[in-house]
Amino acid sequence: MRRSAVRYGVVVAAAATVLSVGAAAPPLVRTPPAPPPAPAKVPVAVGHGGAVASVDADASAAGIEVLRQGGNAVDAAVAVAAALGVTEPYSAGIGGGGYLVHYDARTRTVHTVDGRETAPASADTGLFLENGAPIPFAEAMTSGRAVGTPGTPATWKTALDAWGSKPLRTLLAPAERLAREGFTVDATYRAQTAANEARFRDFPASAALFLPGGRLPEVGSVVKNPDLARTYALLAERGVDALYRGPLARDIVDTVRTPPVREGAERTVRSGDLTERDLAAYRTVRRAPTKVTYRGLDVYGMAPSSSGGTTVGEALNILETGDLAAASPGRYLHRFIEASRIAFADRGRWVGDPAFESVPVRGLLSQRYADSRACLIRDDAALTSPLAPGDPRSPVPCATGGRAAPTTYEGENTTHLTVADKWGNVVAYTLTIESTGGSGITVPGRGFLLNNELTDFSFAPADPAVHDPNLPGPGKRPRSSISPTIVLDRHDRPVLALGTPGGATIITTVLQTLTGFLDRGLPLVEAIAAPRASQRNQSATDLEPALWNSPLRSELEALGHVFRQNPEIGAATGVQRLPGGRWLAAAETVRRGGGSAMVVRPDR
């Protein structure tokens, strides 16, 4: 495991069991001694004063530091996100975007921020076409063409202006310190670097940062990022507007328009058309959350441009009519898979950026429409994909209309953090640069990778006769599957909040974790750890090894299900409100090397 969380004045308590202990956070030590060995990550923590769950111990520690200093959940979420930009640079950073869902304890209301990247003003439906044909995906993902205007810094500003209590400079301090002093490399970081080695070597700034001395970093070595430390110091001094106007903005634009490829590189690297005007014009969107009622609880999610809230919500409505608690494991998985298949069929046809597309959100989330789709599910036979969509504007029981829309590829290496504070505020925040390593292109001298989010657009319509709501357009946000979710009880108090990375599998992971917790009675950490399946209206359903090697696979194959093995799906985190002002933070036990759950004052 990596990181030195003690440098933040946080001691991680060893876990006797995964259900009872957590991470303590004693007072900040201003002049720390030499860093001790990196602590083990703890996947679950229970206690008072607030909670943080992320994939990384140093990032979670940064959030705990802010909570101990009197910051609220939004303050802590920004600190965690900034630290993840240091320690998880292939998953997130200020060169990307994301979606934030916030529960305000004072008003008992849920709000969201759409910080999705946007296409340049010059973009049109032919963004990824040459001579009338889509360019190869591998060439698109490593290019300036794929870079959208970053939304992460603007998301921080929007959230802090609305609900924060601390200045940005205070919240960036832990991450700036971490970038300057360094963190300890673990096996996951080294493996992700190795997966990107060929790309990074073609960009001198990326090679210098991520391949120090021209070699892969060794597990246990310390990686520093002084360029990013200086960039964070700039944002701390001048605010996030420094990324959207001025020298930093010009550096981003120059990098996109003239990608700095090493001399002699054989890779085809296309330029992009991002401009300083595109950066200056970027705005986040405060959207009303999606909402469905499930088992008497209110489930809030992210509205389009993300498809997460509508697709999770529709699937929950489909599952509402069945008793998943009493179902056998096989029957539960069968119905979960079929609800996912149906919801994805509708997602592909109807969901895009609402600034450009008429998205029938109310219809997709109506119980009447879900019931008209649920009757397609049979207990004795599986549906086949691609399944055609229904029409939420005019529901007809068991009917499908039009032609199926395939699920486009989405990069899986996003990251998610979940935070709660002592006042009861909660944040579920998923942020990303798209593929593992984003575009592979580092802004020279600035210490961060640029996203390749525009590859989430459809490169061309799957069927020219059917409208595709996810084609590129000027200033358009590509459709996402990001699904930060907050569940409230009948008194509008939090029950739990969660989210995950994983591209399009985000939706199925959130759905499976919710039903595992709410229907199957699993403790949150076990619902997160449970082996996963993911059906996205494709010919085969992904199974993690524990399900692939289970008798359940044969049972489901007998119904007509087709499977393929996927070594790992997602990396979820969540928080759960407990009685007496206590919180439980939960993260992965194994995936991505395990996650990091911490609370301010742990139960002993």
pLDDT tens digits, residue range 288-318? 999 999 999 999 999 999 999 999 999 999 9
Per-residue confidence (pLDDT) for residue 366, from 0 to 100: 98
pLDDT digits (tens, 9 = 90+) for 216-251: 999 999 999 999 999 999 999 999 999 999 999 999
Model confidence at 11: pLDDT above 50? no
Q: Which of 588, 533, 593 is nearest to 561 (CA)?
A: 533
Mean pLDDT for the stretch of residues 416-421: 98
Model confidence at 5: pLDDT above 80? no
Per-residue confidence (pLDDT) for residue 242, from 0 to 100: 98
Per-residue confidence (pLDDT) for residue 222, from 0 to 100: 96
Model confidence at 40: pLDDT above 80? no
The rounded distance, in Å, linking the Cα atoms of 184 and 217 is: 10
The rounded distance, in Å, linking the Cα atoms of 35 and 4 is: 6
Q: Are 374 and 318 in contact (CB under 8 A)?
A: yes
User: CB atoms < 10 A from the CB of 548, how many?
Assistant: 17
pLDDT digits (tens, 9 = 90+) for 540-554: 999 999 999 999 999
The rounded distance, in Å, linking the Cα atoms of 285 and 115 is: 7
Query: Running DSSP on this structure, what letter comes out for residue 415?
Result: E
Provide the residue ranges of all domains of the chain, joining segments of one domain with +: 296-411+484-577
| Domain 296-411+484-577: top CATH class | mainly alpha
Per-residue confidence (pLDDT) for residue 461, from 0 to 100: 86
pLDDT digits (tens, 9 = 90+) for 113-157: 999 999 999 999 999 999 999 999 999 999 999 999 999 999 999
| Residue 265: partners with Cβ closer than 8 Å, 6 or more residues away | 202
Please tell me the least confidently modeled range out of 16-25, 82-91, 146-155, 559-568: 16-25
Per-residue confidence (pLDDT) for residue 22, from 0 to 100: 37
Q: What is the mean pLDDT of the chain?
A: 92
- Give the pLDDT band of residue 412 (cuts 50, 70, 90): low
Mean pLDDT for the stretch of residues 156-170: 98
Alpha helix locations (H) across 263-328?
A: 276-281, 308-319
What are the catalytic residues? 414
SS3 state of residue 259: coil
Per-residue confidence (pLDDT) for residue 466, from 0 to 100: 82
| Tokens encoding 110 | 């849920």
- Give the pLDDT band of residue 36 (cuts 50, 70, 90): very low
Q: Which of 576, 507, 578, 6 is nearest to 586 (CA)?
A: 576
Model confidence at 501: pLDDT above 60? yes
Per-residue confidence (pLDDT) for residue 17, from 0 to 100: 34
Per-residue confidence (pLDDT) for residue 399, from 0 to 100: 77
Per-residue confidence (pLDDT) for residue 462, from 0 to 100: 76
Handedness of CA 166, 88, 141, 539 (dihedral sign): negative
Mean pLDDT for the stretch of residues 187-191: 95
Please tell me the least confidently modeled range out of 358-372, 410-424, 433-447, 555-569: 410-424
- Give the pLDDT band of residue 410 (cuts 50, 70, 90): low
Q: Which amino acid is at 118?
A: T
- Give the pLDDT band of residue 8 (cuts 50, 70, 90): very low
Mean pLDDT for the stretch of residues 168-192: 97
Per-residue confidence (pLDDT) for residue 39, from 0 to 100: 53
Model confidence at 29: pLDDT above 80? no
Per-residue confidence (pLDDT) for residue 32, from 0 to 100: 44
Q: Are 524 and 517 in contact (CB under 8 A)?
A: yes
Model confidence at 7: pLDDT above 70? no
pTM for the full model? Answer: 0.93
pLDDT digits (tens, 9 = 90+) for 269-284: 999 999 999 999 999 9
- β-pair type (563-565, 541-543): parallel
